[in-house]
Amino acid sequence: MNKEKRIQILQRLRENNPNPTTELEFNSPFELLVAVLLSAQATDVSVNKATRLLYPVANTPQAIFDLGVDGVKQYIKTIGLFNSKAENLIKTCRILIDQHNSIVPENRDALEALPGVGRKTANVVLNTAFGWLKDNEGKYFIAVDTHIQRVANRTGYAKGKTVEETEQSIIKNTPNKSEFMFDLHHWLILHGRYTCVARKPKCGSCIIEDLCEFKEKTE
212 is in an annotated binding site: yes
Evaluate whether 218 touches 201 at the Cβ level (below 8 Å): yes
CA–CA dist 219, 202 (Å, integer): 7
State phi, psi for 134 to the nearest 5 degrees: -130, 160
| Residues marked as catalytic | 120, 145
203 is in an annotated binding site: yes
Q: Please give the full DSSP string across 192-209, using - where no structure is assigned.
A: HHHTS-SSS--GGG-TTT
206 is in an annotated binding site: yes
93 is in an annotated binding site: no
Q: Please give the full DSSP string across 136-163, using - where no structure is assigned.
A: TTS-B-----HHHHHHHHHHTS---SSH
- 134 pairs with which residues across the strands? 140
State the binding site: 196, 203, 206, 212
State the binding site for [4Fe-4S] cluster: 196, 203, 206, 212
